[in-house]
Copies of this chain bind each other. A is one copy, B any other.
Amino acid sequence: MKNFISVNDVDNVSKLINDTLEIKKQPLKYRELGKDKTLGLFFFNPSLRTRISTHKAARNLGMDVIVLNADKDNWGLEFEEAAVMNGKKAEHIKEAAAVIGKYFDITGIRSFPTLTEKETDEDDTVIKQFMKYSGKPMISLESATLHPLQSLADMVTIYENWNFNKKPKVVLTWAPHIKPIPHSVANSFSEWANKIECEFVITHPKGLELNSLYTGNAKVVYEQDKALKDADFVYVKNWSLYNDYGKFYNGGYDWMIDKKKLELTNNAKIMHCLPVRRNVELSDYALDSENSIVIKEAENRVFAAQAVLKNILDDLNG
């Protein structure tokens, strides 16, 4: 693997999932693989799980890690060609990325969407320009549109919790929130779910359609109860409006996943990327039930990041 910013960077999704499960059995098996290699982690936005799990994954492979909180105010980057840089932006991506490429063997970048400028967000400018000008492998720590490290961990958690006597029914359900939330986790989950053996259904109130670039041929059902019927996995996630881009959907408060809704399912496992707002997105009952696998997803973030780094290191080491 050269880069990891989308499922499309992965040749064989099943193999990557299996790699992750293998690494989980012996996390320190490849501790020499990343020796003398350095991973740089740049956070243009706050991070907890992604930061810790990716750091630990790299250390498990013997890599050194250097973390930078690159507050957008402190390190304003210019992305325009031929810009006359007489404003707030102090460095052009051409220099910034080229230097990063000299210091790090692999670089991870987190850069959230604006939720106001649709076109800029969809271009995923920050990570794509870093990739273009650094000349070194780049991994997404959540971009404006996708969060592939989360999605790989999610797929792995589905595999672990399924016996595969039949294709599982996986439902991504929109859930209410208190403020506008990026689409990246939902986009990314859809993109990956479309690549594994499952019956994938997306449910949300009308108007909350996601970008079809990521949802592809996934079945969309507007009645949550109908969608949840016989579900084996329920992935709960809020997102803001995509069509009226980035706006808060003020409604759907009855879409919270609770006991009654879970009873419609086939004793479904409950998933969420965290952080989760209890009794807004999911009820205490749902999160505290034995069917909740949200902590397992978070735990699998380490091994997912490790499988990704291992694949890139294998490629670097020729």
Contact = CB atoms under 8 A, between A and B. Distances in A.
Given A38-B59, A287-B94, A85 B51 contact: no
A136 to B, nearest CB: 12
Given A48-B75, A66-B52, A91-B276, A298 B85 contact: no
18 contacts: A28-B36, A40-B52, A46-B75, A48-B75, A48-B99, A49-B99, A52-B103, A53-B103, A78-B278, A83-B279, A84-B278, A85-B278, A85-B279, A90-B275, A91-B276, A99-B299, A102-B299, A103-B302
Interface in A265-283: 274-280
Contact of A103 (B56, B82, B83): B56
Contacts of A91: 274-276
Nearest to A295: B98
Given A85-B277, A279-B85, A66 B55 contact: yes
A247 interface: no
Given A52-B68, A91-B274, A94-B278, 7 more contacts: A46-B74, A46-B75, A90-B275, A91-B275, A95-B294, A102-B299, A102-B302
Nearest to A300: B102
A64 interface: yes
Contacts of A46: 74-75
Interface of A: 28, 36, 38, 40, 46, 48-49, 51-53, 55-56, 59, 64, 66, 68, 70, 74-75, 78, 82-87, 90-92, 94-96, 98-99, 102-103, 178, 274-280, 284, 287-288, 294-295, 298-299, 302
A13 B103 CA distance: 25
Contacts of A284: 82
B277 A95 contact: no
Contact of A38 (B51, B56, B278): B56
B280 A95 contact: no
Nearest to A288: B94
Contacts of A295: 95, 98-99, 102
A196 to B, nearest CB: 24
Contacts of A28: 36
Contacts of A294: 95
